[in-house]
Structure 1
Amino acid sequence: MKILETKIDKKFVKDLTILLIGVGLYILSVRLFVLPNLLASNGIAGFSVFFNFVFQINPALTFFVINIPLFFFGWRLLSQRELLLSLPGAAAMSIWMLIFEAMGISGFQFDHLIYAGICDGILSGIGAGLVVISEGTFGGSLLLSRILEDQWNFTIDRVLFAIDIVVMVLSLLTYLALPHFAVTLLSCFIFSKVTRFVGRADYRQKTLDKLKLNFLRN
């Protein structure tokens, strides 16, 4: 069977499963660490959190609306397989938000805020990295970064971090306190690096080789 000239085989189903798990981990991180500690989330999810705090708009709705022009932009630039995987990925973002909300997952408040930022950066980065492995996206900043990576050779971590800075500045000007801004900046940096480490085998091997070399030197 084919959809948009993309063969729906075992590999496609496997990639779709990995994508959905990755999206779930990404959104879980928002629920566990971002919202209860009043941090700004990364990427388009960060815009959703921003609108939630400032205008009390459901993050799932915001994410859906923002993704519409991004998908129109990506339609001509990405492969049909990438887009076919990105559609359920973007839908899963809103669905996971609603599922975790219905489950009553309220997350953890840390006495030391930096722990929330570190945990968010690692967990959300693992989730986004799995999405990259699936060769799909969940829309938003990851979709935009894939377009820039494919078309103009931007590295995925730099694009993600640049978008995060825009989100954080908006948050800082509205609701985000300066200490939370600093912790979110750390979280976004960790997120961008973990995403690339998990999602890109060449970068992962290069990083591990450097760590091994430094270990042997010491």
Structure 2
Amino acid sequence: MSIFDVKIDQKFLKDLILLIFGVGLYILSVRIFVLPNFLASNGIAGFSVFINFVFKINPALTFFLVNIPLFLFGWKLLTKRELLLSIPGAVAMSLWMLIFEQLGITGFTFDQMIWAGIFDGFLSGIGAGLVVVSEGTFGGSLLLSRIMEDQWNFKIDRILFGIDVVVMMLSLLTYLALPNFATTLLSCFIFSKVTRFIGRETYRTALLTKIKKNLFEK
């Protein structure tokens, strides 16, 4: 069986399950760390929140509209397999939000906000990293970073963090308080590094080798 000349075999189904699980971890992090502690979302999701604040446009609509040109752009530059896996990834974002909402998952608040940023960075980064391993995306900034990585050899963590910095600056100028901005920026930096560590074996191997070397030298 194949769809758009992409073979739907056992590996594809395993990658699909991994992608949906990874998206679930990413959204779970938003529910339990970002929302209760009044942090900002990263990437295109954060941009959607900014547009909602300024123009009162539903974030889900903005996310959908921004993804349309990204998917059309990706159609020419990414493989059909990557794009085919990105469609359920984008759909899973909304479905996981509804599931966690129905389950009544509200999350944790911290007396020291920095812990929320640290935990969010790690958990959301693990989720996004698993999505990268599956060779899919969930749209938004991850889709854009995959395009730029594949076509122009940009580092995925630098692209993700660069997009987040722009979104955070817009948020700071409109609705985000400075402490929340700083914490969210820390979360975005951790997120970008963890995503690359989980999602890119060559980076993970090189980093672990460097750490081991430094330990033995001491």
CA distance in 2, matches of 1:46, 1:109: 20
User: How do 1:120-135 residues align onto structure 2 when only pairs under 5 Å count?
Assistant: 120-135=120-135
Per-residue CA distance 1:33-53 (angstroms, 9 max, x = gap): 111111112111222343456
Residue aligning to 1:73: 73
CA distance in 1, matches of 2:15, 2:181: 35
User: How do 1:44-193 residues align onto structure 2 when only pairs under 5 Å count?
Assistant: 44-51=44-51, 59-193=59-193
CA distance in 2, matches of 1:211, 1:184: 27
Shift of 1:80: 0.3
CA distance in 1, matches of 2:51, 2:102: 20
Instruction: Structure 1: give runs of 5+ residues left out of the alignment.
Output: none
**Equivalenced residues, count:** 218
Residue aligning to 2:216: 216
Query: 1:157·1:192 contact (CA, 8 Å) conserved in 2?
Result: yes
Query: 1:64·1:91 contact (CA, 8 Å) conserved in 2?
Result: no
Shift of 1:94: 1.4
Cα distance 1:108–1:54, how it changes in 2: closer, same or farther (>3 A)? farther
CA distance in 1, matches of 2:198, 2:53: 31
Segment drifting more, 44-53 vs 110-119: 44-53
Cα distance 1:169–1:113, how it changes in 2: closer, same or farther (>3 A)? same
Per-residue CA distance 1:184-214 (angstroms, 9 max, x = gap): 1111100000000000000000010111111
Residue aligning to 2:30: 30
Query: 1:70·1:140 contact (CA, 8 Å) conserved in 2?
Result: yes
SS of 1:197's equivalent? helix
Query: 1:33·1:109 contact (CA, 8 Å) conserved in 2?
Result: yes
Percentage of identical aligned residues: 75
Segment drifting more, 61-70 vs 39-48: 61-70
Shift of 1:101: 1.9
Shift of 1:123: 0.3
Shift of 1:9: 0.3
Cα distance 1:16–1:89, how it changes in 2: closer, same or farther (>3 A)? same
CA distance in 2, matches of 1:156, 1:42: 15
Letter in 2 for 1:87: I
Shift of 1:7: 0.2
Residue aligning to 2:39: 39
Letter in 1 for 2:140: G
Residue aligning to 2:3: 3
Cα distance 1:24–1:167, how it changes in 2: closer, same or farther (>3 A)? same
In angstroms, what is the RMSD of aligned CA positions? 1.5
Segment drifting more, 52-61 vs 80-89: 52-61
Cα distance 1:145–1:46, how it changes in 2: closer, same or farther (>3 A)? same
